[in-house]
Amino acid sequence: MTPVLERCLQIWPVSQVRWRWLLGGAVLLAMLMLAGCESVRYYGQAALGQSSLLWHSRPLAVMMDDPDVPALTRERLALVDNIRRFAGESLLLPADHSYRRYTKIDRDFVLWNVFAAPEFSIEPKVFCFPVIGCLGYRGYFARKNALVFAEKLRAKGFETYVGPVAAYSTLGWFADPVLSSVLAFADTDLAGLIFHELAHEHLYIEDDTTFNESFATFVEREGTRRWLLASGREADIPAYLEARGRLDAVIGLVLDFRRRLDALYGKKMPIEQMRAHKAVLLEELQVAYQELVRQDLAGGWDAWFDQPLNNAQLATIGAYFKWVPAFAQLFEQTGRDFKNFYQAAERVGTLPAADRHALMAKKISSSE
């Protein structure tokens, strides 16, 4: 057996090889053959970036028993293993493959996502991919490449935002490793991230970024609360809920201004007049955030608000939080039981997009 083949079998045990991996490879090959040069470059960097993460990964079990690994790293990896087990046993998430390996990366973030939106629309531009469908963003393993792509979109008239990503999910196509970029997270943030990404493996609706991210965000939040309880850390729950409340204050503020911008964009008026009204609203959003900070009702978002705001940047909030209240309502209606909740969410996911969104909006209205 060659060293390369032996290494591959360490990363991908034969028992874990799935036909969809082979199908995914075939789809990628066909796509590269048919795509233009820019698409070839994009998918090439994605394939190389993902392969590098897997190739350089090591089993958590080996890392935790290795005396040459710093004690703090071993301690954090043990916590990751505890969180993963809880995700499978208590939250009924698919936890048999992902987060059982560790990859050290030489940067703070693994990806940079590019968001784009028209000047007078709150709806993000969608980017479509084989297998996973369409997303409201496009990811790059190198920040410089993300910035170049964002500049090309701006040249076409789009507003853009480039946001860093500490971790992501391959939706079960690969066994995702835990990355060094997240080990320094607070315990609750680390748990929430793992629950969020595993939730994507459990339920993913093609072409509906907002549904998918809102579902994962709800699972992340309820899962983290339950994990603290199960870990005997009830005393940490008030601080966790307070931090979540401060986050929700910012999210609620941004979503409110997105609705106001949406109403503005629906009006008929000269472009220069609409542009002026938009600038006023974005300035009011900045001022409103500073007022929340002054009242100590929010914080930690200064860097996000310190840059000129635009539709693309605001779209990042809508994707992750818009339907969270609807999923909370669904969770209550299913007896706060994750098995029943997942089944109900899956049924909602099978609805046509328009019906799905109407149902989610109705749930939010009934909970207010």
Domain ranges of the chain: 3-110+166-213, 236-367
Amino acid identity at 354: A
Instruction: Report, in this order, helix, strand and coil percent for the chain, each rounded to 5.
Output: 65, 10, 30
pLDDT, the chain, mean: 89
pLDDT on residue 16 = 41
- Using the CB atoms, write b or e for 25-57: b if 16+ within 10 Å: eeebeeeeeeeeeeeeebbeebeebbeebbeeb
Strands (E), 20-103: 58-59, 101-103
- Judge contact between 320 and 213, C-beta under 8 A: yes
Round to whole Å and give the CA distance between 31 and 52.
21
What tens digit of pLDDT does each residue of 186-213 get? 999 999 999 999 999 999 999 998 999 9
Pairwise pLDDT comparison (32 vs 162), residue with the higher score: 162
Q: Given this model, what pLDDT does residue 31 score?
A: 46
Question: Is residue 364 scored above 90 in pLDDT?
Answer: no
Q: Are the beta carbons of 341 and 330 closer than 8 angstroms?
A: yes
Instruction: At 183, list the tokens.
Output: 């080990």
Q: Is the pLDDT of residue 26 over 70?
A: no
How much is the average pLDDT of 35-58?
83
Residue 368 banded pLDDT, cuts 50, 70, 90: low
Please say if the pLDDT value at position 4 is more than 60: no
pTM of the model: 0.86
Residue with tokens 């907002």: 210
Residue 44 confidence class, pLDDT cut points 50, 70, 90: confident
pLDDT of residue 23: 41
How does pLDDT run across 229-281, given as a tens digit for each residue? 999 999 999 999 999 999 999 999 999 999 999 999 999 999 999 999 999 99
pLDDT at position 133 over 50: yes
Is it the case that residue 76 has pLDDT exceeding 60?
yes
Residues contacting residue 97 through CB under 8 Å, at least 6 positions apart? 16, 172, 175, 176
DSSP string for residues in 196-214: HHHHHHH---TT-HHHHHH
Tell me the CA distances in angstroms from 352 to 22, 135, 136, 347, one per residue in order.
Answer: 30, 17, 18, 11
64-71: average pLDDT: 96
Of 240, 233, 113, 102, give the one whose Cα is nearest residue 168.
Answer: 113
215-222: long-range contacts at Cβ-Cβ below 8 A with a sequence spacing of 24 or more?
Answer: 215/323, 215/327, 215/345, 217/320, 217/321, 217/324, 218/324, 218/327, 218/328, 218/331, 219/91, 219/93, 219/195, 220/192, 220/193, 220/195, 220/196, 221/192, 221/324, 222/331
Integer Cα distance of 177 and 247 in angstroms:
28
pLDDT at 38: 63
Position 34 scores a pLDDT of 44
The span from the CA of 201 to the CA of 198, in Å, is 5
DSSP state of 1: -
Instruction: Give burial (CB, 10 Å; 0-12/13-18/19+) of 22.
Output: exposed
Whole-number pLDDT of residue 20: 40
Element (H, E) at 178: strand 178-179
DSSP-derived 3-state class of residue 128: strand
Query: What is the mean pLDDT of the segment spanning 163-174?
Result: 90
Least confident of 124-133, 229-238, 340-349: 124-133
What's the pLDDT band for 40 if we cut at 50, 70, 90?
A: confident
103: pLDDT strictly greater than 80 = yes
Contact 292, 102 (CB under 8 A): no
Read off the pLDDT of residues 53-63 as tens digits, 9 standing for 90 and up: 999 999 999 99
Cα–Cα distance, 72 to 79 (Å, whole number): 11
